[in-house]
Structure 1
Amino acid sequence: MGLGALALPLPGWGAAADRPLHALVTGDESRGWEGVGRLELGGGGFCTGALIAADLVLTAAHCLFDKETGGRLPLERMEFRAGWRNGRAEAYRGIRRGAVHPDYAPGAEASVGRVRHDLALLQLDRAIRLPGLVPFGVAPRPGQGDAVGVVSYALDRSEVPSLQEVCHVLAGIDGVVMLSCEVDFGASGAPVFRVENGVPRIVSVVSAKAEMDARKVALGSTVEDGLEILRARLAAGGTETVAPLVPEVPLSPMRRFGAGTARSAGAKFLQP
């Protein structure tokens, strides 16, 4: 999982009462989260994905590309394992086709601009229609200070999903949110939820593992706008076309992140 970091000052850092990660080991613990699954990439690696319809999985775009060559990974070698837990999934499905955000640039240097478009939508070869396995809805982008949660698989916890029921939005701008959520390699594509009236809905997808002032944070793409683009591309049959590798236009000061810009001194992205 390619992940990154911003070292920008934020007021009130550490004031939020985050809850620790909790492994969903039993059926009772994982009930309601079975729509999150492990996305097998066909070469020994994996990402996390989540059902947003009976036959659609939302994940991170960079999961679909070889991190060494930048080439597109073959969809026919991928498999979505819904609710994967202790060597068994609720359902196993192949991938029929996929769509990547048209502005995503594979192989580009990790940056806030790259995170913004790090979204992909996969259509399964067969819909998953099982009692109790309900796809997740989506919600508008969260605001600074909002409580969110994340369910993910990752390095050293690849056999069961882990839930961080409460973490927080530290900052956000232009389709990117910085989160206090705990993620690690393999959590790429993990859904970030906001719970309203007891119903979890996806507001972001984990894109980058980050470090800020020696504290771990995560960067995620908001899904509100990008999802409609992905749906349209998938309806058109999917496409292999992605953004060309061109120099990124410098961002204006990210005031909601604090002083400085994405390229300010001390900012870095952590790589696997």
Structure 2
Amino acid sequence: MRHLTLAALLISAPFSPALAQDPALNSTFGILNLQAGFSNDPNSVYLLAGGHMQRSFTDAASGDVCRGYFAEAPDFRVVYDATNGDDFSITAESYDDPVLLVNGPDGRWYCNDDTFGLDSAVTFEAPQSGTYDIWVGTYGDTQGEYPGAQLGFTALAPFEPQIRRSFFGEDDRVVLDPTQAPWNMIGLVEMQSGSCTGTLIGPDVVLTGGHCLVNLGEQDNPPLTFRAGYQNGSAVATSRVTGYHVPQMWRVAEQEGMDFGFFFLEQPLGEQLGWMEIGTLSQAELSAFANGNGPEILQAGYSADQPEVLTGNLSCPFVQLGPQNTLQHECDTVQGDSGSPLFVEDGDGYRIIGVESHTNFQPEQDFDMNVAMYVGNIVREFQALSGTQTGTAAMPAPVVK
């Protein structure tokens, strides 16, 4: 998810794609032959997304208009045998808001932007046999950088396998009341491109995921607005963002354990709503988790499949503390939950013990592994910021427990 540059001419109406995207050219990242009923479902390949020219396309099935930066040659080509007539879906996943474009066997153009969060999918309900030429573009101008992307092919519902593996067999999320504590301390972070989840950890300080704001070799994606207790278009309280800070070791090396960031609010919403403390687990708490009777771990965020409501987990299984200040857990989280808090009740308040980061794919296991940033590094970074200049605003002196 990168911020947009309007240096190129913004094309407001569709035009003939033959002017730029040419199916007659060789595909850049390869070709795959698939027959309906293929056993390795979903079948995935990896490539680099984007291109230097912005183009607009109208989806032949829905009439929706998609706009993105695409390469001239197809990124990938699939020759598909649609013998049994099953649905055939093509998906594109990337951190940089992928836009999917397909030239089908019928010569028509199909496109999609944002089916599952920022990820895209095109589904052919009555697929034809033949050649599918595929481009994975980016919504924004990535300034000559080509972000990695995963292209998937499936006869299942788009993104169903990813969601099923993330939920450890059952989806235990519930819709929460964001007008009540502690859920009103959690909110939607609107960046220049896309959104994440964040949590008040001071009167005017919010904790979120580092990758929401900064990724190695790419331009920053500044946070613009924080909507505390967001639900269905409204919020309990809203503030403009005045500055932000991401650890240097995430900014320059994407070091594991450092995927977190802070930003600062124009309005001290915490004085109205309260905030959560940040603090490590005690040895007694870790021993209790090991014995299966540790404190309940709570989590809440704005999941990509339910982006307009705050959903969460009321009792997440704790797995273990991983290497480099990570926390492995089995909260049911998906894209959009990035930056969301894992926290416990602490007396009459709440203590954040982790910040959601990413999912490790484990194809040899029944389920993938969700990984949060453990708060050890977060506490140290937060303490070090006291009285320093960060982003465009000065950090107030924090009280950290």
Following superposition, which runs of at least 4 residues in structure 1 exceed 6 angstroms of deviation?
none
**Residue number in structure 2 paired with 1:157:** 306
Q: Is 1:207 aligned to 2:357, yes or no?
A: yes
One-letter amino acid of the structure 2 residue matched with residue 193 of structure 1: F
Q: Is 1:22 aligned to 2:163, yes or no?
A: no
**Residue number in structure 1 paired with 2:220:** 72
**Superposition map of 1:50-61 within 5 A:** 50-61=199-210
User: CA offsets, 1:228-257, max 9 Å, x none?
Assistant: 3234336311159xxxxxxxxxxxxxxxxx
**Superposition map of 1:98-137 within 5 A:** 98-105=244-251, 108=254, 114-129=255-270, 131=272, 133-137=273-277
- For residues 304 and 269 of structure 2, the distance between their equivalents in structure 1, rounded to whole angstroms, comes to 27
Aligned-residue Cα RMSD (Å) equals 2.8
- For residues 138 and 25 of structure 1, the distance between their equivalents in structure 2, rounded to whole angstroms, comes to 22
One-letter amino acid of the structure 2 residue matched with residue 219 of structure 1: V
- For residues 115 and 201 of structure 1, the distance between their equivalents in structure 2, rounded to whole angstroms, comes to 22
- Out of 167, 175, 187, the residue aligned to residue 316 of structure 2 is 167
- For residues 374 and 320 of structure 2, the distance between their equivalents in structure 1, rounded to whole angstroms, comes to 12
Closer, same or farther in 2 for the Cα pair 1:106/1:79, shift >3 Å? farther
Closer, same or farther in 2 for the Cα pair 1:106/1:148, shift >3 Å? farther
**Residue number in structure 2 paired with 1:93:** 239
Structure number with the bigger relative contact order (C-alpha 8 A, sep ≥ 6) is 1
Q: Is 1:238 aligned to 2:390, yes or no?
A: yes
Closer, same or farther in 2 for the Cα pair 1:19/1:214, shift >3 Å? closer
**Residue number in structure 2 paired with 1:248:** none
One-letter amino acid of the structure 2 residue matched with residue 224 of structure 1: G
- For residues 197 and 231 of structure 1, the distance between their equivalents in structure 2, rounded to whole angstroms, comes to 22
User: CA offsets, 1:101-142, max 9 Å, x none?
Assistant: 12114685xxxxx340111111111211565x1111122146
**Residue number in structure 2 paired with 1:83:** 229
Closer, same or farther in 2 for the Cα pair 1:19/1:198, shift >3 Å? farther
- For residues 42 and 239 of structure 1, the distance between their equivalents in structure 2, rounded to whole angstroms, comes to 15
- Out of 170, 180, 183, the residue aligned to residue 33 of structure 1 is 183
- For residues 196 and 231 of structure 1, the distance between their equivalents in structure 2, rounded to whole angstroms, comes to 20
Query: Secondary structure at the residue paired with 1:92?
Result: strand
- Out of 374, 391, 394, the residue aligned to residue 222 of structure 1 is 374
8 Å CA contact 1:152, 1:187 repeated in 2: yes
Between 1:163-172 and 1:218-227, the stretch displaced more is 218-227
- Please say which structure displays the higher CA radius of gyration: 2
User: CA offsets, 1:66-117, max 9 Å, x none?
Assistant: 68x6211234xx1110010121111111111111112114685xxxxx3401
**Residue number in structure 2 paired with 1:5:** none
Identity level (%): 22
One-letter amino acid of the structure 2 residue matched with residue 162 of structure 1: T
8 Å CA contact 1:101, 1:226 repeated in 2: no
- For residues 96 and 190 of structure 1, the distance between their equivalents in structure 2, rounded to whole angstroms, comes to 21
- For residues 315 and 171 of structure 2, the distance between their equivalents in structure 1, rounded to whole angstroms, comes to 5
User: Which residues of structure 1 form unaligned runs of 5+?
Assistant: 3-15, 109-113, 241-272
Aligned residues between the structures: 215
One-letter amino acid of the structure 2 residue matched with residue 47 of structure 1: C
One-letter amino acid of the structure 1 residue matched with residue 242 of structure 2: R
TM-score using structure 2 length: 0.49
- For residues 154 and 234 of structure 1, the distance between their equivalents in structure 2, rounded to whole angstroms, comes to 32
8 Å CA contact 2:215, 2:251 repeated in 1: no
Closer, same or farther in 2 for the Cα pair 1:19/1:201, shift >3 Å? farther
User: Which residues of structure 2 form unaligned runs of 5+?
Assistant: 2-94, 96-167, 393-401
8 Å CA contact 1:93, 1:124 repeated in 2: yes
One-letter amino acid of the structure 2 residue matched with residue 64 of structure 1: L
